Amino acid sequence: MTVTSSSFHVSAGASFELPIPVSVGGTKLSWSFHTENADEDIQFSIEHLGTEADADEVDELYNPGRVKVTETKPHTGEIVVQDTGIVTLNWDNSYSWLREKVVSYEVDLAVPEPEERSRMVKLLATATEKVGTTGALLEEVTKVGDRLVEANASVITLTAQKQDTEDLVANLDERRAGFEEKYPAYQESLKAAMEARILAFHQAEQAKL
């Protein structure tokens, strides 16, 4: 269904906007345009403005930049507009300081049949469900990652404690070895001291007699 076709002048340094209301999601928008003179280019883009609930949200649907077109080689294309709202076709000649452009265009809208619309709604619902599932999966992966970080920190702490324990055991072993090395000499010294005391005691007793 051809919605509109006409031509317009775009002055140098100016732009032209063509708003197209879309009342059914999944509508296919197709276009064709060309300039009056050969070897001319113009910047072209398509934007979508939502309904009253999200009227401030502007989404860029198509932007090939500056396109060179002629009557024998028009610029054509089509997109599917998923949401209702206003679709605006923009022809921008603001970069040109001197040359005015004359553009002829034709815009068509193809509203999907109820069966096709239902299929698209189901596809959109499936895609949304998959996005939700992916989000939940990413959340679980993040939790597992956090637990791995915590486990790694615990391993590091246990490794440090194990090293401290090993150092303490090594120190005790070193002290025990030193004691065992000195114990015979200490035992001999203690034995000599006891014998000297016993001898002194006997000598003292004999002196009394």
Residue ending a domain, among 51, 83, 112, is 112
| pLDDT score for 117 | 56
Residue ending a domain, among 79, 112, 145, is 112
**pLDDT tens digit string along 118-130?**
666 677 778 777 7
Whether residues 108 and 142 share a domain: the answer is no
Whether residues 11 and 103 share a domain: the answer is yes
CA distance 34 to 91: 11
Whether residues 96 and 30 share a domain: the answer is yes
Average pLDDT over residues 143-169: 76
- Burial of 195 per CB tally in 10 Å (0-12, 13-18, 19+): exposed
Whether residues 106 and 7 share a domain: the answer is yes
Whether residues 105 and 120 share a domain: the answer is no
Whether residues 98 and 143 share a domain: the answer is no
Whether residues 6 and 108 share a domain: the answer is yes
Whether residues 119 and 166 share a domain: the answer is yes
Average pLDDT over residues 163-184: 75
Structure tokens at 171: 């120190």
Contacts of 11 (CB under 8 A, 6+ apart): 93, 100
Residue ending a domain, among 112, 128, 161, is 112
- CATH (domain of 35): 2.60.120.680
Query: Which residues form the domain of 82?
Result: 2-112
CA distance 181 to 80: 93
Whether residues 119 and 100 share a domain: the answer is no
Whether residues 34 and 121 share a domain: the answer is no
Q: What angle do CA 208, 200, 182 make, to 5 degrees?
A: 170
More confident residue, 27 or 188: 27
Q: What is the CA radius of gyration of the chain?
A: 46
Count of domains forming the chain:
2
Whether residues 95 and 160 share a domain: the answer is no
- What pTM does this model have? 0.53
Cβ 132 vs Cβ 45: under 8 Å:
no
Average pLDDT over residues 178-196: 74
Of 24-38, 74-88, 98-112, 171-185, which gets the smallest average pLDDT? Answer: 171-185
Closest CA to 42 of 103, 83, 1, 87: 103
- The label of the residue with tokens 């035992």 reads 187
Whether residues 91 and 175 share a domain: the answer is no
